[in-house]
Amino acid sequence: MLLLRLAVIGTVVVLCVYLQTLAHAQIPPHQPGSICSTPRLWCWAQPPGQAGQQCVCQGPYGPVAGRLI
């Protein structure tokens, strides 16, 4: 029973890590500094800036901090 529980937890962890990388895989080709990337989503930078600067995307529950890429 413990082995099954550990297998389920391990599967959930791997799935969560995989799903987090999907958002970054969907970022389109862009000029550096024109996209704001957060841990869960991305948006077009308003205004664009230098890659690495802080930025904000509007998420479903309000602003989400990120970095320009």
For 33-64, the pLDDT digits (tens) are: 999 999 999 999 999 999 999 999 999 999 99
Take residue 56 and report the two structure tokens written for it: 């904000």
Take residue 57 and report the two structure tokens written for it: 């995307």
Name the burial class of residue 19, with classes exposed (0-12), middle (13-18) and buried (19+) by CB atoms within 10 angstroms of its CB.
exposed
The pTM of this model reads 0.63
Which band of pLDDT confidence, cut at 50, 70 and 90, is reported for residue 69?
very high
Which band of pLDDT confidence, cut at 50, 70 and 90, is reported for residue 12?
low
pLDDT, greater one: 4 or 47: 47
Give pLDDT, residue 14: 57
